[in-house]
């Protein structure tokens, strides 16, 4: 599930979320896009878009998917503290941690592996923990083809500055390894990698 998707292209009058479609394809899911990704936008979200997001509607879609699936992975939106909804102007902003609490989910922090990774990872971790959300671990993501010196040392550096498990590193344009996936899927029994949702 990817509750909120931006950068969508319009196909037949409907915004198509390539990431969400890819997730559905990888999971061999035939669920409708309206369920997998209830909020889809062509551009980055503006204040009007954020005001329109209903976390409870996302929770209903999640429960619907969960009822039809062995397990559900929910992909977050941008950084963990990025606003995803608010009830009224100047009210408390809701972010990914609010959604995680409503869905009763722990989170995995996926950090861009490069300069600034340590600080960003620690801030995301502290934000999640201060909001009462459990953190399963951190995955480093090589978002760039060229590796930087920081990218080569971040994995070990993170292990030295946090007690949260560092689940591994995903190389540029490479699939997530089984070693990273297994701890995430452990609560659901032995991974079959043939899920429906």
Which CATH number belongs to the domain containing residue 64 in this structure?
A: 3.40.50.300
Residues 110 and 154 in one domain: yes
Note the pLDDT of residue 197: 45
The answer as to whether 196 is a domain residue is no
Residues 113 and 46 in one domain: no
Distance CA 112, CA 118 (A): 10
Q: Residue ranges of the chain with pLDDT lower than 50? A: 191, 193-197
Residues 118 and 159 in one domain: yes
Distance CA 197, CA 191 (A): 14
Residues 140 and 184 in one domain: yes
Structural domain of residue 169, as residue ranges?
A: 106-189
Name the CA radius of gyration of the chain, rounded: 17
Distance CA 37, CA 147 (A): 32
Residues 52 and 125 in one domain: no
Residues 42 and 110 in one domain: no
The pair of three-digit structure tokens given for residue 178, joined into one six-digit string: 């089984």
Note the pLDDT of residue 97: 93
Residues 72 and 150 in one domain: no
Span 65-119, pLDDT tens digits: 999 998 898 998 888 998 888 766 666 788 999 999 999 999 999 999 999 999 9
Q: What is the DSSP string of 119-159?
A: HHHHHHHHHHHHTT--EEEEEEE--SSSPPHHHHHHHHHHH
Please count the structural domains in the chain: 2
Closest CA to 58 of 18, 5, 109: 5
Residues 62 and 133 in one domain: no
Among 17, 50, 83, residue at a domain's last position: 83
Who's near 99: CB < 8 A, 6+ residues apart? 3, 55, 58, 59, 74, 76, 84
The answer as to whether 158 is a domain residue is yes
The answer as to whether 88 is a domain residue is no
The answer as to whether 179 is a domain residue is yes
Note the pLDDT of residue 148: 87
Residues 44 and 118 in one domain: no
Note the pLDDT of residue 5: 93
Closest CA to 83 of 21, 39, 138: 39
Note the pLDDT of residue 194: 46
Note the pLDDT of residue 80: 92
Residues 114 and 183 in one domain: yes
Note the pLDDT of residue 174: 92
The answer as to whether 140 is a domain residue is yes
């Amino acid at each position: 599930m990817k509750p909120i998707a931006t950068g969508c292209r319009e196909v037949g009058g409907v915004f198509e979320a390539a990431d969400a479609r890819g997730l559905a394809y990888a999971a061999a899911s035939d669920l409708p896009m309206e369920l997998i990704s209830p909020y889809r936008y062509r551009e980055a979200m503006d204040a009007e878009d954020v005001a329109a997001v209903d976390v409870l509607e996302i929770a209903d879609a999640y429960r619907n998917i969960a009822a039809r699936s062995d397990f559900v992975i929910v992909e977050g939106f941008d950084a963990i503290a990025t606003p995803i909804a608010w009830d009224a102007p100047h009210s408390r902003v809701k972010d990914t941690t609010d959604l995680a609490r409503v869905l009763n989910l722990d989170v995995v922090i996926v950090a861009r592996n490069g300069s600034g990774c340590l600080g960003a990872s620690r801030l995301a971790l502290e934000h999640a923990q201060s909001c009462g959300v459990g953190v399963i671990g951190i995955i480093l993501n090589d978002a760039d083809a060229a590796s930087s010196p920081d990218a080569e040392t971040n994995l070990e550096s993170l292990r030295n500055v946090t007690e949260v498990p560092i689940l591994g590193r995903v190389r540029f344009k490479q699939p997530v390894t089984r070693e990273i996936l297994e701890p995430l899927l452990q609560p659901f029994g032995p991974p079959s990698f043939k899920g429906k949702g």
